[in-house]
Amino acid sequence: MSNPEGSSHEPVRPVSEGGPDAEIPRPRAVDLAFQASLASTVIACVATVVTVLLDQVWLERFARQMLEESGQPTGEVDLATGVAVARVSLGIGVALFAALFVLFAVKMRAGRSWARLLLTVFAAVGVVNFLSAVASSGAELSLMWSLAEVAFAVTAVVYMFRPESTSYFAEHRKRRLERRGGRPR
C-alpha cells in the first residue's frame, strides 16, 4: 500500500483519538509479524521432530551416552528404554518451546513491548546460531530448516519495528501507564 508521500509502508494512523478506553487499531505490520513469528515457531518444531525425534540412530547414540555417563547398563532393553525416554522428553520440550513462543507472539500482537523485545532477541540468537553452523559445517542440507526458521524470525522483527508498529506499541505503553496513574515519557 502506498501513501501520498510515496513510501511503501502503511501510514501511521492517529491512535490517541477516542479516549483511553478506545480500541487501538492494530496495524497490518503487527499482524504480519505475528504470522511470521508463528511460522518460524512451526518450522522450528517440525525441524526438530524430523531431524531429531525421528532419527533413530541419533536417539540411540544419545541414549547410550546418557546411560554410560550415569553408570547404567547399556543392554538392548536399557537402550530401547533410554530412546523412549529421550523421545518423550524431547517431545515435551518441543511442545513447551512452541507454547512459550506462541505466548510471546500473542503478547506481541496485543501490544506488549517486552514480547517484541524477546522475539527480537531470540531472532538475533537464531541468526548467530545459523551463521555459526554455516561457518563450521558449510551449507549442509539439514540447515535449510534453520534458514527458513531464521528468515521468518527476521521478517517478524522487520515488521515489528516498522513505524506504524512502533506507534502501536508506544500507544499501548502510554495507555497502560495512564491507567496506573503514571506519566508517559
Among 185, 125, 130, 134, CA closest to 157: 125
User: In this predicted structure, what is the pLDDT of residue 4?
Assistant: 46
pLDDT recorded at residue 11:
54
Helix orientation angle between 113-137 and 163-180, rounded to the nearest 10 degrees: 140
Q: What is the pLDDT of residue 182?
A: 65
Q: Interior CA angle at 111 toward 106 and 112, to 5°?
A: 80
Give the Cα separation of 71 and 83 in Å (integer). Answer: 16
**pLDDT at 41 (0 to 100):** 96
- At 75, list the grid cell: 543392554
- Distance, in Å, from the CA atom of 56 to the CA atom of 108, rounded to the nearest integer, reads 37
The ranges of the chain with pLDDT < 70 are 1-21, 182-185
Determine which helix (DSSP H) or strand (DSSP E) holds 75, and give its type and residue range.
none
Q: What is the pLDDT of residue 8?
A: 56
End-to-end Cα spacing for the chain: 31
| Cα(40)–Cα(42) distance, integer angstroms | 6
User: According to the model, what pLDDT value does residue 17 have?
Assistant: 54
93 within 8 A of 87, measured Cβ to Cβ:
no
Domain limits, the chain: 28-180
Helices (H), the chain: 28-48, 56-69, 76-109, 113-137, 143-160, 163-180
Query: What's the one-letter identity of residue 145?
Result: W
Alpha carbons 101 and 145: distance in angstroms, whole number: 17
pLDDT, position 114:
96
- The confidence score (pLDDT) of residue 108 equals 97
Q: Closest by alpha carbon to 44, among 147, 170, 132? A: 147
